[in-house]
Amino acid sequence: MLNFDENRFLKIQGGAVALRARLEDVISTCLKSGAENIFFLGTGGAAILMQPAAQLLQRRSRFPTFIDMPAELILTGSANLTAKSIIVMPSLSGTTKESVALLAKMKEIGATVITLVGHADTPLGRGGDHVFVNFAEDDTSCESFYLQSLFIALSIMRHWGELENHAEITAELDRLPHLLLSVKRGFEPKAAEFATKLASADYHIITGAGNVWPEAFYYGMCILEEMQWIRTRPVHASDFFHGTLELIEKDVSLILFKGEDALRPLANRVEAFVPQYTDRLIVLDTAEFELEGISPEVRALISPILLATLLERISAHLEVLRDHPLTTRRYYKRVAY
């Protein structure tokens, strides 16, 4: 595969899976100690990657779950954020400015802070009450963060008696690193084709629904915009027909992500409409990829993880086609802002 280290990928995703037992222990301890709610408080891309787990809890659990922006909470606070709150703070670098600032406030409040970082010797790596370290880099962090947050959500549901088959689900999740690698290998030829289509336009509308919508948002903002300087318009599939459909015309590119959860019909609706007005529709559908031994229930849970692993292959080809390395920045962490 182009510019890809298979052993490194397995080590990183295997590292995320290896954190599951301790994550479950910490969550169980917090809940037994009287925790009343959970906040997922990441910044930027890391925050977006927490959304599927937060959504899962909000829709299928009685445990109060919130997701908010540290930059706003620093200024406003929250009536629900108390000493009985569990705070999940993801940051690959462990140095994200807004998250570090919020960490100090969480200490004052007395909330229990769980940090998910790629580096231990950092403010967030040293500052959490419970620190989980799994080294990763930009091209491998999505799957790692998705998995860790999913383990947290599933653990809460098990504690509340809302998930009878927790052991079976997590046993399937433990197999994911090797399965994802197999998917990457099989997708490599098509990844180059997808990248060519992406490189042929300087503006894309990106949409999806359910738990793959965050990946659509993430890929548009953090990869195409930040790392490739390609203009995008991420829009949730449920909002597409309330404004953005008017931008569809000949030669307008639309990228559609399709997952396997209950919100798939919203993506189907977009897919039926768009080809009538433009021939530049790119569809990436997780249902087209084999994951041996993974049940439909778990496939629905991991659709964003599968998309992330496919998109990494597309991005690897895209940076070569455009002669624009994914590490190139003009402003991000380069100038004062």
Through-space distance between the first and last CA atoms of the chain, rounded to whole angstroms: 37
**Would the pTM count as exceeding 0.85?**
yes
How, if at all, do strands 253-258 and 203-208 pair? parallel
pLDDT band, residue 67 (cuts 50/70/90): very high
State mean pLDDT over 188-211: 97
- List 256's β-bridge partners, or say none: 207, 283
Q: What mean pLDDT is predicted for residues 284-300? A: 98
Q: What is the pLDDT of residue 36?
A: 98
Q: What is the pLDDT of residue 302?
A: 98
pLDDT tens by residue, 181-197: 999 999 999 999 999 99
- Torsion angle of alpha carbons 275, 279, 282, 285, nearest 10°? 30
pLDDT at 124: 98
Domain with CATH 3.40.50.10490 in the chain: 6-173, 176-321
What would the mean pLDDT of 119-144 be, rounded to a whole number?
96
Class of 6-173 in CATH: alpha beta
Helix (H, G, I), strand (E, B) or coil at 285: strand
157 pLDDT band (50/70/90 cuts)? very high
With beta carbons less than 8 A apart as the criterion, state whether 129 and 113 touch.
yes
pLDDT band at 259 (very low <50, low <70, confident <90, very high): very high
Q: How far apart are CA 142 and CA 23, in angstroms?
A: 18
Share of the chain above pLDDT 70, in %: 100
279 pLDDT tier (thresholds 50, 70, 90): very high
Q: How far apart are CA 127 and CA 114, in angstroms?
A: 9
Architecture of domain 176-321: 3-Layer(aba) Sandwich (3.40)
